[in-house]
Amino acid sequence: MTNSIPEFETDSNCFLIIGSNTSEGHPLIATRVLRAKQRGAKVIVLDPRKNQIGHWADVFYTFRPGSDVALFNGLLNIIITEGLADQAFIAERTENFEEMKALVAEFPAERVADLTGVPVEGLYTVARLYATQKPAAILYAMGITQHTTGVDNVKSVANLAMLTGNLGIPGGGVNPLRGQNNVQGSCDMGGLPNVFPGYQPVTNPETIAKFSKAWSSSLPTPNSPLSNKIGLTVTEMISAAGEGKIRALYVMAENPMLSEADINHTRHCLEKTEFLIVQDIFLTETAQLAHVVLPGASFAEKDGTFTNSDRRVQRVRRAVRPVGDSWPDWEIICHLAGKMGAGGFDFVSPQAVMAEVAQLTPSYGGITYERLEELGGLQWPCPTTEHPGTPYLHKNRFSRGLGHFFAVPFKEPAELPDQDYPFTLTTGRIMFHYHTGTMTRRSKKLDSEARQAYLELHPDDAQKIGLNGSRRVRVSSRRGQIELNVRVTERIKPGVVFIPFHFAEAAANVLTNLAIDPIAKIPEFKVCAVRVEALSGTEHRGGTDHRSGESERRTRRDE
Ligand SMILES: Nc1nc2c(c(=O)[nH]1)N[C@H]1C(S)=C(S)[C@@H](COP(=O)(O)OP(=O)(O)OC[C@H]3O[C@@H](n4cnc5c(=O)[nH]c(N)nc54)[C@H](O)[C@@H]3O)O[C@H]1N2
Ligand SMILES: Nc1nc2c(c(=O)[nH]1)N[C@H]1C(S)=C(S)[C@@H](COP(=O)(O)OP(=O)(O)OC[C@H]3O[C@@H](n4cnc5c(=O)[nH]c(N)nc54)[C@H](O)[C@@H]3O)O[C@H]1N2
Ligand SMILES: [Mo]
């Protein structure tokens, strides 16, 4: 995020929420948005479904999944032609405005209404409101990124914020609401194929020299430098394993057998992997395919830090002792590295790990356990121990100097509905479950709130497929098929269906398309084509209660 979560409550005068089911996925952030609304801030929600936050919005429109770039180009064009652009900001802080302007001129409101399904007057309402109620924050999540055009969508978001001068100010910004508690921290620590900690590129010779020196005792031969080759992303690794290009996979805290697109393909690839190690806190669908399972300790059983969505590093403290033979992940890694003959993994505590992080990662340079204890949290960049941390980015200049406007042409998703597969499937989350359900489906309370998979279907479509009072359907795509219950609802547009991806017994990812964004390599989880057929029969729990029993596996020795 360019800005900070607390600013939403105190500073923002307008929110443009697109592709984010904020109140179900990020309820605490949604609360701040709603408090801002109480003091008069405007809330615009654009989403293919009338999600919960959409009900509370001042302005809400549904649009066709995958038409985001067209929608943004339309809004950019209106703001420019209505003279609502921030000329001073464009002149002083940006470049390439003319090229972007020429492209968006090809997106008059009438054409955009056709492409997206948002009415012409709706486009004007949104554009005018967002451009005039400064500071305005854009909040987005997976509805923007999980597309073959994910990077294009994000560039479009940035165009809109720059055009209106909504960057480098409190309460504005481009704010991707990050997913897991520590996904920001994982990326910051180099859990990406192309960078070392602090986004220092592996292709930079100086960076290689720096880390090779610092980690020399861990290298197979002390004087050989670290690799400067860009690695593969998760999705690419799995396919590479299927092709025999990767022989061993070490999967830590991921359950790709449910979370990757096209599960039949994923299973095939994982079964072909010569050596599969899974480190998890439960025996997941993926762990069941593994040659070795290493039991990790959960968040409540270990010390460390998490870095949240607004770059804030905070302490997490052990509340209970690890159960059974489980260990904190960092200890497992250090132990394993030691067994493999690597030096330099003899950390005595997470605090010692953090000291090395500060030494090698300029943006974390001033973050120490002592300061975190004292201040509660610190937002990077925080280069020195005197630095107070950074609540919002790009104050007087962008990291690259000038902000670059991109001319982003509109491309359709990889798979569109046709005669054989006439519906557009979009997938996502619900409030009560977390991803592959390893944790939440073991919680009695959460499980009782949402026990089974379902498909959201518009009433007109229910009639079209001849549902006739039945609650069961078969959903098929070119990759596979599942059976599940239906919720007939006007939340969803006709022609579009939604399935939450939490449920192993009717896994949405059996259906999804593995087509990926050429740059970010993220699969198109949000759009694929499916067929929906009514089955006779009534609602039932759909499959066996596959989790019970397993949950008893981890006996609580320490209680
Ligand atoms: N309860 C709960 N909370 C979670 C999680 C969870 O599993 N459960 N997971 C966490 C994680 S890791 C993440 S990444 C976040 C994700 O949080 P979100 O991204 O908010 O969640 P999603 O349900 O994936 O989808 C968001 C919205 O995108 C919309 N959408 C679908 N297709 C399109 C499209 O083509 N364009 C646009 N613009 N929007 C579209 C959906 O209708 C939905 O409202 O949530 C985090 N929070
Ligand atoms: N169709 C569809 N698919 C999607 C998405 C979508 O919107 N639609 N969203 C995608 C997104 S944004 C995400 S983030 C992924 C999520 O995909 P995954 O990360 O594969 O899903 P999780 O269920 O969160 O899996 C995390 C695993 O970590 C384990 N775990 C939890 N805490 C710890 C710990 O401290 N240590 C260890 N070792 N293990 C731990 C859990 O038991 C669980 O098995 O799914 C993606 N897949
Ligand atoms: Mo995520």
CA–CA separation, 71 vs 111, rounded Å? Answer: 10
Q: What is the structure's pLDDT at 538? A: 54
Q: Give the CA angle between residues 446, 452, 454 to the nearest 5°.
A: 125
The amino acid at residue 294 is L
CA–CA separation, 373 vs 389, rounded Å? Answer: 15
Cis peptide before 362 (omega within 30 of 0): no
Nearest CA to ligand 2 atom 15: 259
CA–CA separation, 510 vs 267, rounded Å? Answer: 10
Domains of the chain: 5-177 (3.40.228.10), 231-295 (3.40.228.10), 423-535 (2.40.40.20)
Among 548, 545, 506, residue whose Cα is nearest residue 282: 548
332 lines ligand 2 (CB under 6 A): no
Residue 426 in tokens: 């979009």
153 lines ligand 2 (CB under 6 A): no
| Cβ neighbour number for residue 312 with a 10 Å cutoff | 21
Tokens 């905070």 — which residue?
314
Residues forming a β-bridge with 483: 474
Nearest CA to ligand 2 atom 19: 254
Query: CB-side exposure of 281: number of CA atoms within 13 Å?
Result: 16
334 lines ligand 2 (CB under 6 A): no
CA–CA separation, 206 vs 277, rounded Å? Answer: 33
What spacing in Å lies between the alpha carbon of 167 and ligand 2's midpoint?
31
- E strand or H helix that includes residue 332: helix 329-339
Total residues found in the chain within this entry: 559
Ligand with the closest atom to the CA of 177: 1
Nearest ligand 2 atom to alpha carbon 183? 14
Among 540, 535, 528, 544, residue whose Cα is nearest residue 263: 528
Question: Edge-to-edge strand order for the sheet containing 275-280?
Answer: 248-252, 275-280, 292-295
State which of 49, 254, 260, 551 you would mutate to test the pocket of ligand 2, scoring each by most atoms of that ligand within 8 A of its C-beta: 254
Alpha-carbon distance values, 204 to 228, 232, 256, 360 (Å): 8, 18, 31, 15
The pair phi, psi for residue 218, each rounded to 5°, is -90, -15
| Cβ neighbour number for residue 494 with a 10 Å cutoff | 12
CA–CA separation, 515 vs 522, rounded Å? Answer: 8
DSSP tag of 323 = P
Nearest ligand 2 atom to alpha carbon 438? 42
pTM equals 0.93
Nearest CA to ligand 2 atom 10: 259
Nearest CA to ligand 1 atom 9: 179
The pair phi, psi for residue 318, each rounded to 5°, is -65, 125
Tokens 């950390």 — which residue?
347
| Secondary structure class of 225 (helix, strand, coil) | coil
Pocket of ligand 1 (CB under 6 A): 18-21, 24-26, 47-49, 51, 65-66, 68, 141-144, 179-180, 426, 428-429, 431, 433-435, 526-527
pLDDT digits (tens, 9 = 90+) for 102-138: 999 999 999 999 999 999 999 999 999 999 999 999 9
Tokens 């978001």 — which residue?
157
Evaluate whether 33 touches 22 at the Cβ level (below 8 Å): yes
Tokens 């003319």 — which residue?
98
Residue 484 in tokens: 């599940």
281 lines ligand 2 (CB under 6 A): yes
The amino acid at residue 518 is P
Nearest ligand 2 atom to alpha carbon 439? 42
Nearest CA to ligand 1 atom 6: 434
What spacing in Å lies between the alpha carbon of 56 and ligand 3's midpoint?
24
Nearest CA to ligand 1 atom 19: 142
Nearest ligand 2 atom to alpha carbon 258? 20
DSSP tag of 501 = T
Nearest CA to ligand 2 atom 18: 254
Alpha-carbon distance values, 209 to 46, 204, 508, 550 (Å): 47, 9, 45, 47
Evaluate whether 312 touches 296 at the Cβ level (below 8 Å): no
Evaluate whether 511 touches 425 at the Cβ level (below 8 Å): yes
pLDDT digits (tens, 9 = 90+) for 380-409: 999 999 999 998 878 888 888 999 999 999
DSSP tag of 381 = P
Residue 230 in tokens: 């860009």
- E strand or H helix that includes residue 314: strand 312-316
| Cβ neighbour number for residue 285 with a 10 Å cutoff | 23
The amino acid at residue 118 is V
CA–CA separation, 414 vs 523, rounded Å? Answer: 10
What does 239-256 look like in DSSP terms, one character per residue?
A: HHHHTTS--EEEEES--H
Ligand with the closest atom to the CA of 308: 1
Tokens 């009900």 — which residue?
55
The pair phi, psi for residue 251, each rounded to 5°, is -100, 120
What spacing in Å lies between the alpha carbon of 178 and ligand 3's midpoint?
7
Evaluate whether 498 touches 426 at the Cβ level (below 8 Å): yes
187 lines ligand 2 (CB under 6 A): no
What spacing in Å lies between the alpha carbon of 179 and ligand 3's midpoint?
4
CA–CA separation, 451 vs 541, rounded Å? Answer: 7
Those residues of the chain that have pLDDT short of 70 are 222, 537-559
Radius of gyration of the chain (CA): 24
- E strand or H helix that includes residue 55: helix 52-56
The pair phi, psi for residue 448, each rounded to 5°, is -70, -20
Q: What is the structure's pLDDT at 430? A: 95
